Amino acid sequence: MTGGPAWPICPPGRELRLTAADGIGLRAVLWPRPDACGSVLILSGRTEYAEKYGEAALALQAAGFSAATIDWRGQGLSQRLLPDPRKGHVSRFTDYQLDLAALTAELRAPEFPGPFFLLAHSMGGAIALRALAEGLSVRAAAFLAPMWGIRMPAPIGGLALQSLAAAARTPLAAHYAPPPAGGAAPSFRIADFAGNPLTSDPRRWREMADYLCACPDRDIAGPTIGWLAEALAECRALRSLPSPSLPALILTGGQERIVSRTAIRHRLAAWPEAFCHEEPEAAHELLMECQEIRDSTLARVARFFRAAL
C-alpha cells in the first residue's frame, strides 16, 4: 500500500481505485492468495481504513482465504463528502451499498474464488445485514460488535432524537452531531486512552494514535448530524428485516459501550443459524485488543469459515 508508513504488522496489499455507481471515488485493498479455498470481504466500521485490517487479512490468508476490504465513502483514502474532510458524513446510509457493490464487482477468480464470506465490524455489520437482505451471496458471515443499534449518550435521547432527524433534512445535516456523540476531535489521541470505549490495550491504542499522527489523511473526527440520523434510521429499518438463511458468528466484548447489546440479542434470537461468543475483557474493537484476544478472535473466525466450507 502507498501513501504513508505501514501499519506496524500490516502485510502488503494491492491498492485499487474504484468508482461507485454514483461517481464517488473509492479505495480498495486486496490480499489475494493464489490457491485460496474461498474469499473474505472485510467490512470495516466508521472512522476505519484498510491498514487496520492487515493483521486480519494475514490470518485469513494463513487459513486459506483471499481477503479484500474497502475504505467507505467519506473516510480512509476514499473520497470525502464535505469541504471539511474531517467530518464523518454520508448522504444516505444505503449509499454504502454502492461502495460494497463496486468492491464485489472487482473480485473475480482465480485470485478471488468462491465461496465468499463476510467479516464485518461495527458499522460494517449494519452494511452487511442490509446487503445480505438484498441478495449478496455468501456462504457464512462473522460479525464483530455489529452496529444493529447504537447506544446513544444520555444528552441525545427522547425528543432530542426527533430534533436530530428533523435537522438531518436541513443544511444542519453537514454540522457535527452534538457532543459527546460528535465533535471535531480526531478519532485517536494518545492522551485520550483513559476511559476510551474502543480498546483496553494501551499499546494498541498508542500504535493507532501514532499511525494517525503520521497519516492524518486516514483519520476522521465525529459524525455529522446527517450521518447520525441516517445510522439511527438504518438500525430501525434493519430490525424489521428477516434474518438471512446462512450461518453467522457474532463476537462481542463484555465492555461494549458503543453498539446496542440489546439489538444484538434480539437479532440473535431471530437467527436460528447464528451463535454468539463474548470476550469478557474486550471493548468495542476486538481486533485492536491485546494479542491474546486478537489471536483468539481471528482463530474463531477462521475456524468458522473453514467449517462452513
Task: Count CB-CB contacts under 10 A for residue 272.
Answer: 11
Each residue of 28-69: pLDDT tens digit? 999 999 999 999 999 999 999 999 999 999 999 999 999 999
The secondary structure of residue 172, as a DSSP letter, is: G
Q: What is the side-by-side order of every strand in the sheet holding 65-71?
A: 14-19, 25-31, 65-71, 38-43, 116-121, 140-144, 248-253, 274-279
Q: Which residues of 198-214 are buried (b: 16+ CB within 10 A; e: fewer)?
A: bbbbeebbebbbebbee
| The pLDDT value given to residue 170 | 87
Q: 254: burial class by Cβ within 10 Å (0-12, 13-18, 19+)?
A: exposed
| The pLDDT value given to residue 159 | 46
Task: Count CB-CB contacts under 10 A for residue 245.
Answer: 9
Cell of 167: 435537522
Q: Pinpoint the alpha helices (H) of the chain.
A: 54-62, 96-106, 123-133, 159-167, 202-214, 225-239, 261-269, 291-308
| The pLDDT value given to residue 177 | 87
Each residue of 103-120: pLDDT tens digit? 999 999 999 999 999 999
Question: What is the residue extent of each domain of the chain?
Answer: 14-308
Whole-number percent of the chain with pLDDT over 90: 83
Alpha-carbon gap, residue 303 to 309, rounded angstroms: 10
The answer to whether 214 and 5 have CB atoms below 8 angstroms apart is: yes
Label residue 1 by pLDDT band (50, 70, 90): very low
Each residue of 118-147: pLDDT tens digit? 999 999 999 999 999 999 999 999 999 999
What number is the average pLDDT over the span 250-259?
97
What CATH superfamily is the domain 14-308? Answer: Alpha/Beta hydrolase fold, catalytic domain (3.40.50.1820)
The answer to whether 147 and 125 have CB atoms below 8 angstroms apart is: yes
Label residue 2 by pLDDT band (50, 70, 90): very low
| The pLDDT value given to residue 187 | 79
Each residue of 165-222: pLDDT tens digit? 788 788 889 999 887 777 888 878 877 899 899 999 999 999 999 999 999 999 999 9
| The pLDDT value given to residue 156 | 59
Label residue 12 by pLDDT band (50, 70, 90): low
Alpha-carbon gap, residue 167 to 21, rounded angstroms: 27
Cis peptide before 110 (omega within 30 of 0): yes
The answer to whether 126 and 238 have CB atoms below 8 angstroms apart is: yes
Label residue 6 by pLDDT band (50, 70, 90): low
What number is the average pLDDT over the span 273-302?
97
